[in-house]
Amino acid sequence: MLQAVDTKSCNEAVIDMSAMKKSARVVNTENRWSVDEIVALYELPFSDLMHRAQTVHRANFDPNAVQVSTLLSIKTGGCSEDCGYCPQAARYHTSVEDQDLMQLQEVLEAAQAAKDSGATRFCMGAAWRSPKQRDLEPVLKMVAEVKAMGLQTCATLGMLKEGQAEQLKDAGLDYYNHNLDTAPEFYGDVITTRTYQDRLDTLDRVRDAEINVCSGGIIGMGESRPQRAGLLAQLANMSQPPESVPINLLTQVEGTPLHGVDALDPLEFVRTIAAARITMPTSHVRLSAGRQSMGEAVQALCFLAGANSIFYGEKLLTTGNPEVAADKALFAKLGIHPA
């Protein structure tokens, strides 16, 4: 068996490439990351951090391949939660209009369009705190039909009750997204209507049902660097880190409590991508919300730092996203191909 790479040697800015290629393919589940150790990654000279992240990335993935997903809001707005970043919360006055659950045929048409554009995974999101069984039934049909089209399936529906993850698994769900959003100590500044443990409980149900876990967070909500590191520590220290880790840059929406928060330095976001790649070497790290504000150069640095998944399409649930044509043009410039 190949030996696990020791990615925690934070004092070593340069890693022997040949040794890394021989040793990085197996995750060492005994390797626990402290917040201080992840902060030390952030504090490396930028070129050293990028080299380290790229070395880990190349040891585990094709460095020029990016997995492509499309996200569709199948039920929009009217959510009872108070997530400070979310324009779908019923209590906030935003430009988002409530929309009932989409019809099956509409979803299938969107899935076919995503497949035709090159997406390999189709994600369905619904603005529920937690789906009732009557809500879940039509979604199960959507999952089964999208799966039959030859696409990987993903859903984000809020907190899951006992038995619901198993129903989704039986319908053919490949991934379930449920983000931790931020570090435990900052969480209460952003959300009060559900606890951090609620989120962890849903992820446990997803894992127990043998569905792949998609979980990450949002950067730029006013959190400190140690709190950004704390989010990554929570994810990396799971008994099995998420297969997919979306890293979102806050998209500020007028009417939400986080509108007007100081913008994050773009290089701090790149450092977060790099730290995620180093601490979770075999996970897909998704460059998610906020790409529209980054520009091509920052996105290119994120790919160099180890991001190897994106969302295709002009909208992510309710916020903007680069158009497919723009993404394809960027891929061509960088020599990247869809995985």
Active-site positions read: 79, 83, 86, 123, 154, 214, 286
Which strand (E) or helix (H) includes residue 240? none
Query: Longest Cα pair distance anywhere in the chain, in angstroms?
Result: 56
Contact 142, 105 (CB under 8 A): no
Q: How far apart are CA 119 and CA 111, in angstroms?
A: 9
Q: How far apart are CA 38 and CA 28, in angstroms?
A: 16
Contact 156, 126 (CB under 8 A): yes
Question: Which sign does the torsion angle of CA 146, 215, 277, 225 carry?
Answer: positive
Residue 330: half-sphere exposure toward Cβ, Cα within 13 Å: 22
Which residue(s) pair with 310 in the sheet?
68, 287
Ordered alpha helix ranges (H), 43-132: 46-60, 104-116
Read off the DSSP letter of residue 261: P
Residue with tokens 């019923």: 90
Cα 184 to Cα 195, 245, 323: the distances in Å are: 9, 17, 34
Contact 31, 8 (CB under 8 A): yes
Look at phi and psi of residue 78 and say left if phi exceeds 0, alpha if psi is from -120 to 50, else beta: left
SS3 percent helix, strand, coil of the chain, rounded to 5, is: 40, 15, 45
Q: How far apart are CA 123 and CA 250, in angstroms?
A: 20
C-alpha closest to that of 22 among 5, 41, 8: 5
